[in-house]
Structure 1
Amino acid sequence: MKARLPRASTALATPVALAVATFPSYLPALPVALGVLVALSFLAVLAIARRIAGSRQHLTGPAHQVAVALGGALTAYLMFVTWTTQAAMRANIGMDPLSLSDIGVLVGAALGVVGAVRGVGWLWRLRPRMSRRMVAFVAGLSVLTFAPASAQAASISSDQVLLLKSPVGAVRAYAGLSDSADDAARARIAVDRLVAAGGLTREHLLVAIPTGSGWVNPEFVAGTERRFGSEVATVSMQYDDRPSWVAFLLDREGAVAGAQTLLDTVVAEVSALPLVQRPQVHVVGESLGATAGQAALLAPGAAGDARRETVCSTFWLGTPGGGRTGLPRETIAANADDPIVHARPSMAIVPTGEDRPWLPVVSVVHAGADVLGALAVPLGSGHRYGAEQPDRLQTCD
């Protein structure tokens, strides 16, 4: 029996969808994420192509064969380009190349999404009520496709470096949500622990505003202790237990309030000391912690003035949207491929102004996928910052 060729629309939609799904982005795509993007791009391009074609007569004969051959050739070429491009991006940041199992995950994710969407469409025509439940199920599966990055973020936040003993005799003090549900009480507990451990007698006092989950970057703590030895104390306070992106969207004000409360408590303790005995106070924030720390220092009024007068320097790592305060002795760490710093919702309709390829809608979708995988990369790329950063911290010597 003679094999039946695919429709011309399908053959030509496939390379277009592959080009859309693999359009240049900030980071190498996770295999499962790339599979989902390929599938959704294919379905969208195919729907547009068939809507444009409408009721026009389908290609037949030699024209059909040429369209299928052209689509196949373009697909093969783009698959080669995708493979080499992803390999180069991975090698550039120290990631392992795509393996055969990665390709299997990619293909499986793509086929699974296409099959699920086609199945929902079929059910919608037969039984609309059941299909609505299926839509919710498919949406849930789509969220789970990015579970590796979320799981990594969760495992990172569960390891609180400030609860571990410093190997160089530096002071570490921390208060979590389990210590108190009240910001003021929790800040008091953190600072009391700092004072009891002799933190105010050290030359440098680092106030670390954590990420949404309460995580303080152990690489940064290790870097400051390598630089200053036992003459540094670090204090921090948890203000939420959700991943940063969830807290950023749902309760950014809570993060700012937590940062303000901790800073005010530290400022009160430091200000009570004789001028010659006061440590240099440095504020460091990463991710949502950077946003919260900046807002706390830029707040108007007497409290904001007191914070700014007490703080020697600031250091912001991976600030969402790339914000900064403009205060003296401010240091910014922003990886060039960190989508959380550089991506904007406005990318859907206007370029970011950075020297990178851009397409309307497509670029913002890719940026969203990159955000979800921004922690699943080696240190020094994406939204991960290493132990070399504290060498740039400015002092008041």
Structure 2
Amino acid sequence: MVRFSARGAEFLRAHLINLILALALASLALTPSLVPRPTVFQGVMAGLWFMIGFQLGFAVRAAARILARRLHGGRSASGAATDPPAGSGPGAQRSRSPLRAAGLAAAIGVGLLVYVLGYGALVVSWQNEVRALVEMEPVDGAGHLAFLISMFTTLLLLFGIARGIRALRQAAGAQVARRGGSLRQARWASQATGLVAVLALVLGVLGGGLGVVAEVYQDRDAATPEGITAPVLPGRSGGPDSALAWDGLGRQGRAFAGGGPSAAQISAVTGTAAQEPVRVYAGLSQGADLQARAELVVAELERHGGFDREVLLLATPTGSGWLEPQAIASLEYLYAGDVASASMQYSTQPSWVSFLFDPELPEDSSRALFEAAHERWRELPEAERPKLVVYGLSLGALGMSGSFEDLDDLLARTDAALFTGPPSNSEPWATLQANRDPGSPVWQPVYREGEQVRWQSKPGDFAALGGVWQQPRLGYLQHATDPITWLDPAVILRSPEWLQGPSAAGGRGPDVSDSMRWIPGVTFAHLVADMLVSEAVPPSHGHNFGDVAVDGWAQVLPGHGRSQAQLDAVQTVVEQIDTQNPSWE
């Protein structure tokens, strides 16, 4: 036992810096963020950050040795070798008793255990606070167990990889030494091998991961969501009277064209007569380029009488082509099916891939669609034109809003616009946020007293502002806990406005934990991680906007004539719509 403890003490002495940095980074990974994280996901993140900190310890130790050599040197001023520091020679090492080593190991071990248990209790309280604010149940015993299993599994996997890289380094150094190389050359060979191995691993994971994502989504695009069949009703792309083949619409195009309420369903909910809504969509394979695809959509609208409807909706999808079904259906219920909705696909990849590798594509696609439809719309007699409205969620909001020069251009060429969960680099969103009225919070701003633009987080926010809301109107659906909206590189080095004080004082949204603090670099990393689980929260929080679509459209595009009882009935139905798991779209 004493011998084991002595070995433990030696390990702790040799790796104390590693352990301190590992615990520090793992602790930062567990600090509160905007949305609660599934326990398995949180465990993976804690294990990953712990391993990064542990490996960072080796770099810190190496840097310390180099600095010490430069400060003290290996020789005296006369050039003679200096004596080693007192207590650092072999004799000093032998003089340390096993009992003393065991005591040191026990003391450090107890200290680490106390820290882990104490900090773990704090983390649980943080997570449950965040969960309560977004109306989720607290973490239970099973959740704690899932966290521990995922964290230790991640650690074992990463430590195994680290040991493999270490073995490669040792083999490279030994090979150089066997061939007569100097100790310095062997050390450089070892370090170079380790660096190459790490780079190869990172690039392999990234490249291989992107390759897998591309293949998975390519195959996914060829499939059809469960419960979706080719339209038998008129006015749908891929249907019997359509020039666009069902197989070419893509997965999300088929979900859009084959989904949504029928006239009978709309009548059953609202108690009034309704028309069959028109839904037009062109898949990525339909049309040689964006312009050709946009022209196909306009021709399809003509074919189905889309320009004869009361409302013409032009919508930009997310990266994979997904359109939020609740937003589209809400407008169709409000206007008794007298709506034509049109969109087109620009990618098969999820939004984050499109955003990273071709950020201008959503805007180019949106602009092509809007310009083609707007040109045909302008040719109609003014009294016969449908209300022209535009919509986009997330990357779709970035794309469609970017089709216009500024707010004036958008309002001059549309009858209404509704953008949901816009990314931080969206325009005119960023400009409007920056120039909001003094005293209004960034998470729910007021611009020029709400005369043209308003923001809404929960139903009723648009109307609660009061005053005159002129038409045409622009509305933003925005949550204080949506990481997609607040992910901004500036957060790396500067505390954001949405974390400027407690929620009671308006310094942050009411569902943002007061325990969340800005930490340089860490808060940005939290936002990146939060994006991956931003849909895994109830409506009114994160990136889930299913409960505000009805009221959003009802306020942005008035004239539907629905009573409050009808709006309530529509709200109930819309909240039950299956969104087809959009988290990775």
Listed one character per residue, the Cα deviations across residues 234-273 of structure 1 (whole Å, up to 9, x for unaligned) are 1111122222122122222222121111111111121111
Shift of residue 34, structure 1, vs aligned partner? 2.7
Distance of aligned partners of 1:82 and 1:144 in 2 relative to their CA distance in 1, 3 Å threshold? farther
Q: Name the counterpart of 1:333.
A: 477
Q: Name the counterpart of 1:78.
A: 119
Q: Which amino acid aligns with 1:158?
A: R
Q: 33, 54, 78: which one pairs with 1:25?
A: 33
Distance of aligned partners of 1:47 and 1:138 in 2 relative to their CA distance in 1, 3 Å threshold? closer
Q: Name the counterpart of 1:386.
A: 546
Q: Name the counterpart of 2:486.
A: 342
Answer whether contact 2:257 2:280 (CA < 8 A) is retained: yes
Distance of aligned partners of 1:246 and 1:138 in 2 relative to their CA distance in 1, 3 Å threshold? closer
Shift of residue 396, structure 1, vs aligned partner? 6.2
Confirm whether residue 158 of structure 1 aligns to residue 222 of structure 2: no
Confirm whether residue 319 of structure 1 aligns to residue 448 of structure 2: no
Deviation larger for 152-161 or 183-192: 152-161
Secondary structure of the residue aligned to 2:336 is helix
Secondary structure of the residue aligned to 1:7 is helix
Q: Name the counterpart of 1:136.
A: 200
Q: Name the counterpart of 1:193.
A: 300
Amino-acid identity (%): 26
Shift of residue 15, structure 1, vs aligned partner? 4.2
Deviation larger for 374-383 or 364-373: 374-383
Distance of aligned partners of 1:45 and 1:132 in 2 relative to their CA distance in 1, 3 Å threshold? closer
Q: Name the counterpart of 1:367.
A: 527
Q: How many angstroms apart in 1 are the aligned matches of 2:353 and 2:22?
A: 35
Q: Which amino acid aligns with 1:17?
A: L
Q: Which amino acid aligns with 2:412?
A: E
Distance of aligned partners of 1:352 and 1:126 in 2 relative to their CA distance in 1, 3 Å threshold? farther
Q: 61, 64, 68: which one pairs with 2:109?
A: 68
Structure 1 segment 1-397 matched on structure 2, within 5 A: 1-2=1-2, 3-4=4-5, 5=8, 7=12, 9=16, 12-13=20-21, 15-46=23-54, 51=60, 60=101, 62=103, 64-90=105-131, 92-93=133-134, 97=139, 98=143, 100-101=145-146, 103-127=148-172, 132-133=196-197, 136-137=200-201, 158-160=251-253, 161-164=255-258, 166-168=261-263, 169-298=276-405, 308-321=411-424, 323-325=426-428, 329-355=473-499, 356-393=516-553, 394-395=556-557, 397=559
Q: Which amino acid aligns with 2:485?
A: V
Q: How many angstroms apart in 1 are the aligned matches of 2:101 and 2:383?
A: 88
Q: How many angstroms apart in 1 are the aligned matches of 2:170 and 2:152?
A: 27
Distance of aligned partners of 1:212 and 1:116 in 2 relative to their CA distance in 1, 3 Å threshold? same
* TM-score computed with the length of structure 2 as normaliser: 0.59
Distance of aligned partners of 1:69 and 1:36 in 2 relative to their CA distance in 1, 3 Å threshold? same
Secondary structure of the residue aligned to 1:229 is coil
Secondary structure of the residue aligned to 2:284 is coil
Answer whether contact 1:31 1:102 (CA < 8 A) is retained: yes
Q: How many angstroms apart in 1 are the aligned matches of 2:55 and 2:156?
A: 17
Deviation larger for 260-269 or 58-67: 58-67
Answer whether contact 1:227 1:391 (CA < 8 A) is retained: no
Q: How many angstroms apart in 2 are the aligned matches of 1:130 and 1:46?
A: 16
Q: Which amino acid aligns with 1:264?
A: E
Q: How many angstroms apart in 2 are the aligned matches of 1:140 and 1:23?
A: 30
Q: How many angstroms apart in 1 are the aligned matches of 2:526 and 2:482?
A: 13
Shift of residue 117, structure 1, vs aligned partner? 2.7
Shift of residue 368, structure 1, vs aligned partner? 1.6
Secondary structure of the residue aligned to 2:340 is strand
Deviation larger for 42-51 or 180-189: 42-51
Secondary structure of the residue aligned to 1:174 is strand
Answer whether contact 1:176 1:237 (CA < 8 A) is retained: yes
Unaligned runs of 5+ in 1: none
Cα RMSD over matched residues?
Answer: 3.6
Q: How many angstroms apart in 2 are the aligned matches of 1:94 and 1:179?
A: 43
Answer whether contact 1:18 1:78 (CA < 8 A) is retained: no
Q: How many angstroms apart in 1 are the aligned matches of 2:252 and 2:144?
A: 30
Q: How many angstroms apart in 2 are the aligned matches of 1:126 and 1:94?
A: 54
Q: Which amino acid aligns with 2:262?
A: P
Answer whether contact 1:280 1:395 (CA < 8 A) is retained: no
Q: Which amino acid aligns with 1:119?
A: G
Q: How many angstroms apart in 1 are the aligned matches of 2:216 and 2:544?
A: 15
Listed one character per residue, the Cα deviations across residues 340-374 of structure 1 (whole Å, up to 9, x for unaligned) are 11121122211112224111122222222222333
Q: How many angstroms apart in 2 are the aligned matches of 1:262 and 1:342?
A: 28
Q: How many angstroms apart in 2 are the aligned matches of 1:62 and 1:133?
A: 39
* TM-score computed with the length of structure 1 as normaliser: 0.84
Secondary structure of the residue aligned to 2:520 is coil
Q: How many angstroms apart in 2 are the aligned matches of 1:103 and 1:49?
A: 23
Distance of aligned partners of 1:48 and 1:261 in 2 relative to their CA distance in 1, 3 Å threshold? closer
Shift of residue 87, structure 1, vs aligned partner? 4.0
Answer whether contact 1:343 1:352 (CA < 8 A) is retained: no
Distance of aligned partners of 1:122 and 1:27 in 2 relative to their CA distance in 1, 3 Å threshold? farther
Distance of aligned partners of 1:11 and 1:99 in 2 relative to their CA distance in 1, 3 Å threshold? closer
Q: How many angstroms apart in 2 are the aligned matches of 1:118 and 1:378?
A: 42
Q: How many angstroms apart in 1 are the aligned matches of 2:168 and 2:33?
A: 35
Q: Which has the higher contact order (CA 8 A, sep 6+)?
A: 1
Answer whether contact 1:294 1:324 (CA < 8 A) is retained: yes
